[in-house]
Structures are given as structure tokens and as C-alpha cells.
Amino acid sequence: MHYSVLFLCTGNSARSIMAEAIMNYRGRPNFTAYSAGSHPSGAVRPEAIVQLESAHLPTDGLRSKSWEEFAKPDAPHLDFVFTVCDNAAKEVCPIWPGQPITAHWGVPDPAAVHGSEADVERAFREAFIILDRRISLFLCLPLKSLDGLALKRELDSIGQTATPVPRE
């Protein structure tokens, strides 16, 4: 079975972009991931690209785009939609064709961190680690054998999973 996953954030410049790249790499060949934003910034944060490249994940084709692309009749069928920022989780989402299973996987916004270059880099690394961990947990779920309610509970539980990050 093949599944499509959409990761949503407000700006679609960092967290949702990293999640898309992680899922497309770790979930192949059974998953195709996309990302979008309610108010896309129009650009992918270079710090997000650095995190992906340092993990040896492909970055080709990553772009900031509107969630409206995925609400159109010719959009890919979505099986799962995950919000990765608190703002997008509070917004009224478009009606997704096919009624995908949704969950909120809030991750602190690394783009909101101001400070030294090391502080910003640490924030992007921490966001990457949290997303990578949650996606890994998701990929371990026995999707074919879980009913909708059980699957929703598991996805919500994954969204509460934090990965302790050692401080330097």
C-alpha cells in the first residue's frame, strides 16, 4: 500500500519542509510526502537545507508553497495531514479530499530563534531531531492492522513525543 502525507506549517519554510524531506527519504517506497503553508513565505530557510544536507537527505525540489495546492480537485490524494506548528493547527484548514487522518505534531519554531549563529543552528537541529524521531515512530506503526480510531490515538501520541536534546 502507498500512502501520501502532507505536513503543514504557516510559512512552509523550515519545519514542514524538513518533515517532507525526512519522510520522502525514510518512508520510501511506501510514502510520498508533501509540505505546504497557510501563508507560505515563498522561500525555504537555508538553515533547514543545511540540516537536511548534514543528514545526507535530498533537498532537490523543496519549495515553499500554499496549502491551497492540495485542496484542488487534481491534487494528490492525501492519507495523512500533520500540522507541525501551533499556528497552523489553530487555523481553519481547507477541506482535504478523501478525509485524510489528521494529527498535530507541534515543533518549536526554529525560525523564531534570535541570537547567535550557534543558537539558531541548535534550534534547527533540535527541530530536525524531533521531526525525525516522530516520523520514525510513525513509520513503525502497523498501519494496515490499526482501525481509524486506534490509528488516530497513535498519531496524537506521537505528536506528544519529545526527543531530549543534549545541550552543548
Residues marked as catalytic: 9, 85, 93
Q: Please give the grid coordinates belonging to residue 11.
A: 510559512
Q: Which residues contact 80 (CB under 8 A, 6 or more apart)?
A: 3, 4, 5, 6, 100, 101, 102, 103, 155
Confirm if 37 and 8 have CB atoms less than 8 A apart: yes
Strand order in the sheet with 101-104: 31-37, 3-9, 80-83, 101-104
Q: Report whether the peptide linkage leading into residue 29 is cis, meaning its omega lies within 30 degrees of zero.
A: yes
